[in-house]
Amino acid sequence: MIIFKTKKEINNFLDKHRKAEQIIGFVPTMGALHAGHVSLIETCKGNSDLTVCSIFVNPTQFNDKNDFDNYPQTIEKDIHLLYEKGCDVLFLPSASELYPENELLESYNLGFLETILEGKYRPGHFQGVCQVVNRLLKIIKPHRLFMGQKDYQQCMVIRKLLDLINSTTNLIICPTVREESGLAKSSRNVRLANDDLQSATIIHQSLMFAKDNILKRPISEIENKMKADLLQNGFESIDYIAFCNSVSLNPILENSTKENVVVLIAATIKNVRLIDNLILN
């Protein structure tokens, strides 16, 4: 695995592979890698000639400075894991490399998508995600971009970004990797004690409850039961439990067998905010 820290060096290297008509696959991450990230690397390897991963904790997507300051960093371990999994190239830029002082931030017209769910509770978050992904895309110019369904709304935002910038990069959304308990793997899980990790499995159980009941009960009843279960199992607050159209993310108001539904949850346990989702049909 080759590690690059500057745009110029990685660009020179990738140019040779582009000229040789190799398919470049790209997995952007913020590090603290776990099995979820590894699954993206593996899918990328299976669908590309060259697998490029980036690790960059992107300051512009954190609306909470405390969250940014406490974001787990395990770079030595990450490098070792990527090497072991056969990643070809790791891009490790500094903040000044990706955000040079003379380059202004752009503004992306994400419309409705950034006014709901994560966009509502983390103002500016998706603008920050687009800033960094757009800059990384300009550098890596991948044929294929691999992202996790775990961050469902982020996938929809990136799909919109690719459209806005007329990109030819193909977005491939990979399934959420979970612990045996059902809890979605997340870099933030390391902040939770074992008991809380156990309690947090109620998120997945609630999503499964929604899946089992979507055609049997009114959405309001399912939602109330999910809320009560989360609060009874140690969650101190719930930002949202939302039933949405899986393509547009428009809210589903009542049981509609015609629409494809995704249910999305954001809730906080012991000061750690977790998100998860499940496609119901």
Is 210 a residue that touches ligand AMP (CB under 6 A)?
Answer: no
Please report whether residue 147 would count as binding ligand AMP according to CB under 6 A. yes
Instruction: Work out which of 53, 148, 199, 200 binds ligand AMP, going by CB under 6 A.
Output: 148
Q: Which of 98, 133, 140, 177 is the binder for ligand AMP (CB under 6 A)?
A: 177
In sequence order, what DSSP letters do the residues of 205-259 get, joined into one string? HHHHHHHHHTTTS-HHHHHHHHHHHHHHTT--EEEEEEEEETTT-PBP-S--TTS
What tokens does 236 get? 């101190």
Q: Which residue in the set 4, 25, 39, 133 belongs to the binding site for ligand AMP (CB under 6 A)? A: 39
51 lies in the binding site for ligand AMP (CB under 6 A): no
Which one, 30 or 210, has the nearer CB to ligand AMP? 30
Reading phi first (left if > 0) and then psi (alpha if -120 to 50, else beta), residue 44 is in alpha
Rule CB under 6 A: is residue 150 a binding residue for ligand AMP? yes
124-151 in b/e form (b: 16+ CB < 10 A) is: ebbbbbbbbbbbbbebbbbbbbbbbbbb
φ, ψ for residue 144, nearest 5 deg: -135, 140
Which one of 17, 34, 37, 204 is the catalytic residue?
37
**How many residues line the site for ligand AMP (CB under 6 A)?**
17
3-state secondary structure of 29: strand
| 189 contacts ligand AMP (rule: CB under 6 A) | no
36 contributes a contact to ligand AMP by CB under 6 A: yes
Residues within the interface to ligand AMP (CB under 6 A): 29-30, 36-37, 39-40, 147-148, 150-151, 174, 176-177, 184-187
Residues marked as catalytic: 37
